[in-house]
Structure 1
Amino acid sequence: MVEHRFADFSGLVMYRKNYKEKDMLVKILTDRFGKKMFYLRGANRPKFRLSAAILPFTRAEYGGDVRSDGLSFLNNVKSASQFQTISNDLFLNAYATYIFSLVDVGFPDSEPLGSWYQKIEQAMVLIDEGFDAAMITHIIEVQMLQIFGVQPQLQVCTVCGRSDLPFDFSESYGGLLCQQHWHLDHNRFHASQRALYYLRLFSVIDLFKIQSVNVKSATQMELKTMIDRIYQDTVGLSLKSKQFIDKMYQFDSQLPPLKKMSSEIDNTPKDD
């Protein structure tokens, strides 16, 4: 039996699509009920009263009939605001869409996300405020590995537990190898210490405490390559939103200038 309740909740519009001639389906990430699909009758009609509240990249306080299974229904909106910078920028739009795609795949519908709702909301806030979208996205990617059942050891050597020697990443050993054990995996990443520093940092950083870190473009590219490889080899996702980002890197030489991103740690190691 389908349960339903009339409830107020906070939400982030993940995406929407036309349904029939004048109706619309809107998927909203909610703070209380997880991801829910809402049916809005007449949403494609002119002057639809909830139009502003169902635009992509909108956050709002909603009220509606939330059902345990199938489609839910929106009744009212108390407040709504759109992430304007994201909405007006193709590149930022792509990163935000990819983050929502990861959430859509990683969490079952109708399952509360707990603290992940606030984390995703904060990621959108940071991107909208001008923090480097690629770096914010990498933080989400690294921290979501556990959601996909992959938890690489990124703090100490997987063999001996040491943390005071140079590291490299080994897929075979499920995480870091210190320099004393590099010989155990000839297929290790051969990554720079700077890129590994950020990979480790991103696994534990609090998005709500970001203050100042400069990430060079070369390190950004290496990080992207590392994280892409981990996702490809251990998670196995192939998302259209991610493919679009990859095409941006491949074909657009005029990417937006890198911005400064911050965190509570600002000392990065130098590579030998």
Structure 2
Amino acid sequence: MSKGLRTDFNGILLYTKAYRERDLLVKFLTREYGKKMFLVHGAKRPKFKMRAAILPFTYGLYNGDIKESGLSYISTDKQLAHFQAISEDITKNAYATYIMSLIDLAFPDGEPIPEWYDKLLTGLNLINEGFDEQIITNIFEVQLLNAYGVAPDWVDCVICHRTDLPFDYSEAYGGLLCSNHWSQDPYRMHLDARTIYYLRLFSVVDLTKLKHVKVSDQTKKALREVLDQIYSRSVGVVPKSKHFIDQLGKFKL
């Protein structure tokens, strides 16, 4: 077993799962050490003193033993906060869980990714405060594509690099085609101008500067369809939590 480093760390709880009779495995995205799995002894006992520290949608400052490999350990919590609105709303809950699943699958454990810790914290705060959870999720989906090795060119035409003509998205070319080159890909996605606009915007938007985004239901549906297609066909990753969102959509219809 590798030697642990006793230290403070900032963590966002990604998920928990049962381990043995009384223990839990708790996965955090830490700002300092990337994703880490923690063994929490006695977490299933009724009077476990750190119960609030390992509730879903909790984040804060913790102290524990960080191991390079294997399971790490939490000693205590120092400063906790909770995304209450996300916890209490099944739709916000579903989208937040999906975003965390995408980040979990995109990066190896133990690789520091402080920029994604900050993005996740900002994104979850926005959802908690009432921003449209689908739009926040779409932004994460677009910006995570690079981490999955799918790096669409959202800037200009992948063939001639023009920016002054209508665009469409081509999976075959891995980016945008201007109307002069639509004939190059008979299977291009045939996206409307608004959908293309938001895909390009989402690829560069800074979540910390996001004040207001109003997207029509028709465009939201188109964004959902194109991103589903990219993730299922180009990325090859569809987290289990995404299936629940799909079921919620059917229920609302």
Shared fold, TM over 0.5? yes
CA RMSD of aligned residues (A): 1.0
The CA deviation at 1:237 is: 0.9
Contact 2:35 2:111 in 1 (8 A): yes
The CA deviation at 1:24 is: 1.1
Counterpart residue number, 1:188: 188
1:106-152 per-residue CA deviation (whole Å, 9 max, x = no partner) reads 11111111311101111111110100000000000000000000101
Is residue 62 of structure 2 the alignment partner of residue 57 of structure 1?
Answer: no
Is residue 70 of structure 2 the alignment partner of residue 79 of structure 1?
Answer: no
Is residue 165 of structure 2 the alignment partner of residue 169 of structure 1?
Answer: no
**1:217 & 1:111 partners in 2: Cα distance?**
38
Q: 1:92-241 alignment to 2 at 5 Å?
A: 92-241=92-241
Q: Please tell me the residue identity of whatever aligns with 2:124.
A: M
Unaligned runs of 5+ in 2: none
Q: Please tell me the residue identity of whatever aligns with 1:102.
A: L
**1:114 & 1:86 partners in 2: Cα distance?**
23
**2:64 & 2:28 partners in 1: Cα distance?**
12
- Matched residues, number: 253
Contact 2:231 2:238 in 1 (8 A): no
**1:182 & 1:19 partners in 2: Cα distance?**
53
Q: Please tell me the residue identity of whatever aligns with 1:130.
A: G
Q: Percent identity?
A: 50
Structure with the bigger percentage of helix: 2
Moved more, 115-124 or 244-253: 244-253
**1:209 & 1:240 partners in 2: Cα distance?**
30
1:162-182 per-residue CA deviation (whole Å, 9 max, x = no partner) reads 111110001111100111111
- Equivalent residue of 1:245, what SS? helix
Counterpart residue number, 2:44: 44
**2:40 & 2:230 partners in 1: Cα distance?**
39
- Equivalent residue of 1:156, what SS? strand
TM-score of the two chains, using structure 1 as the length reference? 0.91
Unaligned runs of 5+ in 1: 254-272
Is residue 9 of structure 2 the alignment partner of residue 9 of structure 1?
Answer: yes
1:167-206 per-residue CA deviation (whole Å, 9 max, x = no partner) reads 0001111100111111111111110000100000000000
The CA deviation at 1:225 is: 0.3
1:54-95 per-residue CA deviation (whole Å, 9 max, x = no partner) reads 101001100001111111111111111110000011111110
Structure with the bigger percentage of strand: 2
**2:153 & 2:114 partners in 1: Cα distance?**
23
TM-score of the two chains, using structure 2 as the length reference? 0.98
Q: Please tell me the residue identity of whatever aligns with 2:224.
A: K
The CA deviation at 1:250 is: 2.0
1:219-260 per-residue CA deviation (whole Å, 9 max, x = no partner) reads 00000001111111110112110111111112322xxxxxxx
- Equivalent residue of 2:49, what SS? coil
